[in-house]
Chains A and B, each alone.
Chain A
């Protein structure tokens, strides 16, 4: 990597970001810190999700299933053998897993790798045919992973789930991983791979004619997304400390979909902006589910209304503002400096 202006500025802004994390950790309420942790994990998830959906243009609904895999793998690895023995009351855990125990970082990485392998195996039959089926296959996978984790009692403890997962995740873990994810994904987008992926998105037939191996490119995008979703799942598992087959529902996928659509399909800058907007916005939207008094008029809380608002929002954006905030544009230092000089990039 060259030590030119742009790279130095990027390094400085990463340092500034860590300074913000340090400040937030010390000066914000624990509630706000918790929401920032969610925001950072969601940013990592949605950046990967945007790589397959926005950059490569293959509509996929995998996040909840993949996050669940990462969460289960990481949780099983960081729980102590004693904890597992007391938790598996229906049937004991398979011995080779019950005695496995490791620290958080290798557990997260293994969680990511296992998820990436699953992604590869799932992507293979789908991408061989055409991207259209990816969405329904990944949707089905999300439902199937629930069925499977409910039934493989000797591995996942069935519907009882895993409790008392050690809380290692803090805002620093989230911050470091999100920086790694963003650097890796941005480098992919800026590389020849990224250009090939965009070519597939814009015109698959033309991309094939240019000699791009579309199966391979789609797999790279999908497996990268899967890895970071697995890691994100591990972080979430250690953050919420309890996981069961019903924790990672389709709503998670839907929230990520809203994020990448609001930010602009194919723009990582947009994803970052939209993640902050949507995660904090959905916290504020909790209001609509609580009873309200407006000018003496009592409106009882409507549970589930938030989801209705979200789905209407998604449909309206897709019909009227398909570009989202950023379209397919990215923030770059060159753009900023040209702006200062009064030139259009």
Chain B
């Protein structure tokens, strides 16, 4: 294996990792605020893909409009899910909310199966994102270069929102002490809705770039990346946004590198994230950036 291939794989891994990271942010923020593993989050990725697919292939919108509308619509779906399914259970036992979350996940998968059918659809990749560039003899697909840049931009925007705005402060405060924030007169439901909107927006963004990377989409496509993103969130320390991004990079890069270095293990590719999850729980349950689980902070 020469340097060229290593470099290519590294870029590939960073690009995949940033996709996991974007999804992991949603898991970690929702868990931080309402202590719920939002099983439907991986499926929001799939929802984003299908919305963008519908926009481009069926409504003939320009790609940027379709992408933007898809992300906004997915954010709306995330908010609706929270309002309809999770909000009535805010004061119920944890297990009730978790069961509802798995119900929502199953509902999204199967209603999209009914609407779009189970046959994989070809995702129309805009020409800007197709093709490849050649840097000193090393060939990179455009999408692998663009993905991490876009992810970084959105991560910066998110960190700005979290640390420099009033609502960001409310989100961080909620993850610290739910009851006190409510007593301070913060509109808690609005802030939670914003967390769901941000998480779903980023998941849809990740979904769209995922679909351009692997342009065949089906209604069950969100499950695996969702699981890996959750592993990334735990690895990074659940509750920490930066941690989620770092966890995403680690999972993405190691997945690509392991397959590149040991091609005989390629069939087990999807099992690595699971092993990661188990090992993190065994040896460092608080993750890289995590503090005490009960006192998670962004």
Interface residues of A (CB under 8 A from B): 53, 57-59, 61, 122, 124-126, 128-130, 132-133, 135-137, 139-141, 143-144, 147-148, 150-151, 250, 254, 257, 261, 265, 302-305, 307-308, 310-312, 314-315, 318-319, 322
* Other-chain contact of B113, A125, A140, A304 (Cβ < 8 Å): A304
* Chain A residues in 8 Å Cβ range of B227: 136, 139-140, 143
> Contact: A305 with B93, CB < 8 Å?
no
B169 adjacent to chain A (CB < 8 Å): no
> Contact: B99 with A59, CB < 8 Å?
yes
B234 adjacent to chain A (CB < 8 Å): yes
Shortest C-beta distance, B108 to chain A (Å), equals 8
Question: Known: A141-B274, A265-B95. Contact between A135 and B37, CB under 8 A?
Answer: yes
Please report the C-alpha to C-alpha distance between residue A265 and residue B93 in the assembled complex, in whole angstroms. Answer: 12
* Chain A residues in 8 Å Cβ range of B53: none
Please report the C-alpha to C-alpha distance between residue A150 and residue B271 in the assembled complex, in whole angstroms. Answer: 12
Question: Known: A128-B281, A136-B230, A257-B99. Contact between A308 and B107, CB under 8 A?
Answer: yes
Q: Mark B105-139, 1 if CB is under 8 A from A, else 0.
A: 01100110110001000000000000000000000
A254: nearest chain-B partner, CB-CB: B106
Q: Which of B11-19, B84-92, B188-196, B208-216 contacts A (4 or more CB under 8 A)?
A: B84-92
6 additional A-B residue pairs with CB within 8 Å, beyond A132-B94, A307-B106: A128-B281, A136-B227, A137-B278, A148-B268, A257-B102, A311-B107
Question: Known: A130-B293, A132-B94. Contact between A147 and B106, CB under 8 A?
Answer: no
Interface residues of B (CB under 8 A from A): 35, 37, 39, 85, 88-89, 92-96, 98-100, 102-104, 106-107, 110-111, 113-114, 118, 223-224, 227, 230-231, 234, 267-271, 273-274, 277-278, 281-282, 285, 293
> Contact: B267 with A128, CB < 8 Å?
no
Question: Known: A136-B37, A257-B102. Contact between A312 and B94, CB under 8 A?
Answer: no
> Contact: B223 with A143, CB < 8 Å?
yes
Shortest C-beta distance, B287 to chain A (Å), equals 11
* Chain B residues in 8 Å Cβ range of A322: 92, 96
User: Ordered nearest first, which 4 A-B pairs have the shortest CB separation?
Assistant: A311-B107, A314-B103, A307-B110, A151-B267
Shortest C-beta distance, B27 to chain A (Å), equals 9
Pick 28 A–B contacts, CB within 8 A, sort by A: A122-B278, A128-B285, A130-B293, A132-B98, A135-B102, A136-B39, A136-B230, A137-B277, A139-B39, A140-B273, A140-B277, A147-B270, A148-B271, A151-B267, A302-B114, A304-B114, A307-B106, A308-B110, A308-B114, A310-B106, A311-B103, A311-B104, A312-B107, A315-B85, A318-B89, A319-B85, A319-B88, A322-B96
> Contact: B281 with A308, CB < 8 Å?
no
B233: nearest chain-A partner, CB-CB: A136
> Contact: B96 with A318, CB < 8 Å?
yes
Interface centre among B92, B102, B273, B274 (most CB of A within 10 A): B102
Please report the C-alpha to C-alpha distance between residue A273 and residue B89 in the assembled complex, in whole angstroms. Answer: 26
* Chain B residues in 8 Å Cβ range of A130: 293
Please report the C-alpha to C-alpha distance between residue A308 and residue B113 in the assembled complex, in whole angstroms. Answer: 9
Please report the C-alpha to C-alpha distance between residue A150 and residue B269 in the assembled complex, in whole angstroms. Answer: 12
> Contact: A129 with B281, CB < 8 Å?
yes
> Contact: B89 with A319, CB < 8 Å?
yes
> Contact: B274 with A125, CB < 8 Å?
no
Shortest C-beta distance, B230 to chain A (Å), equals 5
